[in-house]
Amino acid sequence: MGNGEEFLRLLLVLVMSREAGEAPEALQTVIAVREEGRACMARMIRSSFESAGEATADKIAQALAAFGMAGYDGAFVALQSEGGKPVAEWMDQPAESIAALGEAIVTKG
């Protein structure tokens, strides 16, 4: 298991625990890291839809960044509890979902 997975596990434990509320510095770190993660997700989504135009790509990124983070968080939790399935399989469905939702936004205009 890589350091990224260990760090995500720690973040999720902190987010879901009462102790995080009692440790403001830890909670602020979690919030900052999650905001950075959402910004990174938004950049990836935006770049995937650049061909639809800058305004549309921005709209899609804003609409789907939080959903993307939640999907990957959920896939990570499932991976931890249901080992044996390759990581790529857990991560493919959130990626495909984001792509389909983004295409639906493009179609709606």
- The pLDDT value recorded for residue 34 is 83
Q: Rounded mean pLDDT of 7-23?
A: 68
Per-residue burial over 5-36, b = 16 or more CB atoms within 10 Å of its CB, e = otherwise: eeebeebeebeeeeebeeeeeeeeebeeeeee
Query: Is pLDDT at 3 greater than 60 in this prediction?
Result: no
pTM of the full structure: 0.76
Higher pLDDT, 21 or 79: 79
Tens-place pLDDT, residues 39-95: 999 999 999 999 999 999 999 999 999 999 988 888 878 877 776 677 777 788 889
